[in-house]
Amino acid sequence: MRTPKLSRILATLAAVTLTALGAVAVNPAPASAAVRNVCYNTSQAGPFASYAVQAASIWNNRTNNINMAQCGSNLMIYYTYGGGSYAQRTSLGNGRVVIDYYQAQQYSPLRIMTHEIGHILGLPDNYNGNCAILMSGGSAGTSCTNPYPSTTEAARVDSLFGFAARSATPAQVFSGSWPAATVVGAGR
């Protein structure tokens, strides 16, 4: 087992234990640690809660410097009916993700969730239409279901969450990653 994976497991256990004891773990990793917890909350995610858990697992398995766990509210997950999916990052690893129910019926909900969490983890959009690039969002088309960040994208997240670069990303709202949902029967 690689050391970062063991650190991630220990960090998760510590965060879950603190939560069980009633304490809130907000980035409990010390400044010198390589792994930083990103505590997310799916209480408002409705039908997308399981996708958030899957997306967190994908990011945990693809990166070494973050540990995403349901241990607090650094990252809140919501859903809406219309208006588009988006992420609002308040600082690196903190903010909210909103998933549009109608969009998730056209595009892969897991890809949307993993993409939007990517913004919270510091990644910008990359509208190049390449399905292998997670941050290409909806530009890859409705047939693209790839929820995995590329090696380059994962390495960038690791770099951003590395010891020296933790405050390098400003607050930002990311919207428009996914084309507007079409309404069946519209214009008829």
Per-position pLDDT tens, the chain of length 188: 455 566 666 656 555 554 444 444 444 443 434 689 999 999 999 999 999 999 999 999 999 999 999 999 999 999 999 999 999 999 999 999 999 999 999 999 999 999 999 999 999 999 999 999 999 999 999 999 999 999 999 999 999 998 644 455 566 676 776 666 554 444 43
Q: How far apart are CA 22 and CA 113, in angstroms?
A: 28
116 is catalytic: yes
User: How many C-beta atoms lie closer than 10 Å to residue 16's C-beta?
Assistant: 14
Residue pair 53/70 in contact by the 8 Å Cβ criterion = yes
Angle at Cα 136 formed by Cα 64 and Cα 132, nearest 5°? 65
> CA-CA distance, 137 to 111, in Å (whole number)?
8
Residue of 100, 116, 153, 158 marked catalytic: 116
**Chain centroid, CA 35 distance in Å:** 16
Gap between the Cα atoms of 40 and 68, Å rounded: 7
The three-state secondary structure class of 42 is strand
pLDDT of residue 1: 45
The pTM for the full model equals: 0.76
pLDDT for 175: 74
Residue 157 and residue 66: Cα distance in Å, rounded?
Answer: 8
Quick one: pLDDT at residue 12? 60
Q: Which amino acid is at 20?
A: A
pLDDT at position 159: 93
